[in-house]
Amino acid sequence: MERELDQYKPDFVLSAAGVTGRPNVDWCESHKPETIRANVIGCLNLADCCHLRGIHMTNYATGCIYEYDEAHPIGGPNPFKETDEPNYDASFYSATKAVVEKLLDNYPNVLILRLRMPISCDLHPRNLITKISGYEFLINVPNSMTVLYELLPISLDMARRKLTGRYNFINPGAVSHNQIMDLYTEHIDPTFKYKNFTIEEQDKILACGRSNNELDATKFKAAVEGSGLPLTPMQDAIVNVMKRMKANLDKGVNEDGEQGGEGSQFREPGGVCAARERAAKRQKTE
């Protein structure tokens, strides 16, 4: 890493490196040293190497370090702010992310962008929509989410401005899995059906918990203002995602406009159904 930094002498480093586990975060429960190596040691090592060279680093982090509680209830007026202490460590993955964020805070060269449930406008296997379209049962809880089409350009703008510190990197507001999949049925696959189960029932089939929360977008909105870049409220952003996804799938391209690329499965035999089956095979739930 040091050799590459010295060879290429970048002004900016963007890091989305991390271990989320395959097929899902349950993996981290049984691979704790590996999870620490990537999510804590690797991340800090990169931040430190950049700091020593005066390089700005953007870290694509996570907001899965909070869980709705009495002070932050579902739909309440008090979503989690950047200054709130993490209150969720029921998965080892989340625990490592909360620890590393606290340490990264001490680096004056680091921008921490807290993503949640990233969404792309295609059927890429890492897209939240593709993932949940493969689940037999869904929980129905509103969550903050990150629409990559809109927010990745914002992250480049923030890096260029050399902003630092923590930002909830999400579209303002929240959306539930049911709302998303109702729109998916409307726009993409009219044959799609889902069933719900409770968080307690979900916990029975998982090795560790999954966080549900809404993050506060006030600080992030203020940072975006004046950039000229759009930041659409979540409820509208998800409708726009479905419209763009439909257009991409009809053209047989993925979010990056690549013909036949990962996420452009609509033109494959079986179309969206095949993508859904692949998602179901890959993971029961993430």
Interface residues toward ligand NAP, by CB under 6 A: 16-20, 38, 42, 60, 62, 64, 115-118, 126
Query: Could you give the CA distance from residue 50 to residue 56 in angstroms, rounded to a whole number?
Result: 7
Q: Smallest gap, in angstroms, from Cβ of residue 96 to ligand NAP?
A: 9
Separation CA 269–CA 273 (nearest Å): 9
Closest alpha carbon to 280 in 197, 215, 192: 192
Nearer to ligand NAP, 30 or 270 (CB): 30
Pick the closer one to ligand NAP by CB: 141 or 225. Answer: 141
**66 in Cβ contact with 87 (< 8 Å):** yes
CB-count exposure of residue 22 (10 Å: 0-12, 13-18, 19+) = exposed
Minimum distance of ligand NAP from residue 100's CB (angstroms): 9
Angle between helices 234-251 and 148-160 (to 10 degrees): 110
**What's the min distance (Å) between Cβ of 185 and ligand NAP?**
22
Comparing CB distances to ligand NAP, the nearer of 43 and 242 is 43
For residue 233, the surrounding DSSP H or E stretch is none
Q: Could you tell me the smallest distance in angstroms from the CB atom of residue 142 to ligand NAP?
A: 16
Q: For residue 61, what is the enclosing H or E element?
A: strand 56-62
Which residue has its beta carbon closest to ligand NAP?
Answer: 18
- Nearest approach in angstroms of CB 17 to ligand NAP is 4
**Shortest distance, position 60 Cβ to ligand NAP, whole Å:** 5
113 forms beta bridges with 60, 167
Tokens, residue 235: 């409820």
- Determine contact, residues 169/146, Cβ cutoff 8 Å: yes
CB closer to ligand NAP out of 36 and 245: 36
Closest to ligand NAP by CB, 17 vs 222, is 17
CA-CA distance, 229 to 70, in Å (whole number)? 35
| Of 94 and 109, CB closest to ligand NAP | 94
